Amino acid sequence: MAASEPSDDSLPESLRFTAPAELVDIGANLTHESFSRDLEAVLQRARAANVTTLILTGTDLKHAEQAAELSRRFPGLRATAGIHPHDASQWTRTLETGLRDLYRQPEVVAVGECGLDFNRNFSSPVEQERAFEAQLGLAAESGLPLFLHERDAGSRMLDILHHWRNDITHAVVHCFTGERDTLYGYLDLDLHIGLTGWLCDERRGHHLRDLLRDIPLDRLMVETDCPYLLPRNLPAKLKGRRNEPALLPWIVREIAHWRGTDEAELAHATTVTARRFFRLEDT
Ligand SMILES: [Zn+2]
């Protein structure tokens, strides 16, 4: 146990909480510049917390290439590759070719992060839909599962996915924060749901807590979405506001509490689901 190593005595309690079963963090933005200085320490803390597999989110071509690179360098890492809806206006044929090359690499396990974000509209809705449809095409072509982002665009997302459902294999709506109707729409389409520390936030996570029992265990996966969304249920404040994979056990604890599920059972189930979803069994 890393907790017995002398160097860990200085770690805050939040970073020394070990999950009761191995966990997969399905959304870690470890190519974010905030991790550039201490990535190895972050990976070590994740392992000590029993977060043994990290799926690194590739949100544009450059970061997806970096994520694939890291996955080759360190054990327990895999990568996704896609264009985030914020960057959809940058979509070109050249980008598409770059992504297609990445999907041939064994470390790249999903198409995304892609989808629709009508909350901020950094790219116009038309540009977002164009890039999203192109990436749905790439998912259909490669057979890889999809890592989806949706904010304030649930009904449009459902329309588009309905159209594509028979052509794609699996898809997870990551960092789900939507309403009941949208959730049921996704589950009816046989999609998976990714949950973050959003629901540890007493200011805005309430409606989600009531929906947790409606998500079957074999469709539910967990993620930090780090460095964003630092969970608010930590026992003490961390220096800085950066979230990291070692904090995933706190999110699992919160979900288990509100779902009324045993923590170890939930931890184990999300890992079984994630390993099947990203086809990690045979690697
Ligand atoms: Zn996202």
Give domain limits for the chain.
1-57+202-283
Q: Residues at the annotated binding site for a divalent metal cation?
A: 113, 149, 174, 225
Instruction: Report how far ligand 1's centroid is from the alpha carbon of 17 (Å).
Output: 26
Tens-binned pLDDT, residue by residue, of the chain (283 aa)? 444 444 455 677 778 889 999 999 999 999 999 999 999 999 999 999 999 999 999 999 999 999 999 999 999 999 999 999 999 999 999 999 999 999 999 999 999 999 999 999 999 999 999 999 999 999 999 999 999 999 999 999 999 999 999 999 999 999 999 999 999 999 999 999 999 999 888 888 788 999 999 999 999 999 999 999 999 888 877 777 899 999 999 999 999 999 999 999 999 999 999 999 999 975 4
Instruction: Report how far ligand 1's centroid is from the alpha carbon of 9 (Å).
Output: 34
8 Å CB contact between 176 and 141: no
Instruction: Report how far ligand 1's centroid is from the alpha carbon of 10 (Å).
Output: 32
Single pTM value for the model: 0.94
Instruction: Report how far ligand 1's centroid is from the alpha carbon of 178 (Å).
Output: 13
d(CA 178, CA 157): 12
Instruction: Report how far ligand 1's centroid is from the alpha carbon of 260 (Å).
Output: 27
Instruction: Report how far ligand 1's centroid is from the alpha carbon of 3 (Å).
Output: 32
Bridge pairing between strands 171-173 and 192-195: parallel
State whether the Cα torsion 104-106-107-108 is positive or negative.
Answer: positive
